Amino acid sequence: MVLAAAPEETPPHTVEDTTYPGAAQILAQRGIKLIGGDGSIVLVDCGPTGLIEVRSTEKGRICFKARTIYWGSRYPMVNYIAMEIPSVYTIKGDEKDVEATLTVNNQSKVYAIEKNAWTPVGEGAGPGNPPETLLQIRAATPQ
């Protein structure tokens, strides 16, 4: 019995590209630098309730929609999006458990964002606080 020989060339590995689709166009049109994520938190037009809303003294009002995605149909995934939005002073959460990572002077700080309410960050958290840059939003569906 003769078995077929294995191919000499190994197929290339699949590499997931986590860059944000249309990031260059969004940066050019709106001045918002979106870096990447898992695709489950997306930039949307502000308007309806149920959005994560960011306010920046430089960029204005910016909104994101976090979709509910379950892993194995039972365990909620933690969704994320990475960005650089300067001078963020408050963030409003949706119905999910939201955390925001901001930075100032090369020091990162993670804020727990209140559900359906505003959480002051950076300059908005009190007098004398420096402006902070929003680096990442993470959202998980409560269990």
81-124 confidence digits (pLDDT tens): 999 999 999 999 999 999 999 999 999 999 999 999 999 999 99
Q: How far is the C-alpha of 51 from the C-alpha of 47, rounded, in Å?
A: 8
Q: pTM of the entire structure? A: 0.82
- Beta strand 70-71 with 60-66 is unpaired
Q: Is residue 85 part of a domain?
A: yes
CATH label of the domain that carries residue 109? 2.60.20.30
Number of domains forming the structure of the chain? 1
More confident residue, 48 or 125: 125
Query: Domain containing 113: what range?
Result: 23-140
Distance of CA 24 to the CA centre of its chain: 16
Amino acid in position 143: Q
Q: Is residue 8 part of a domain?
A: no
Q: What is the pLDDT of residues 13-52, one digit of tens each?
A: 444 556 888 999 999 999 999 999 988 899 999 987 899 9
Q: Is residue 61 part of a domain?
A: yes
Q: Is residue 46 part of a domain?
A: yes
Q: Is residue 14 part of a domain?
A: no
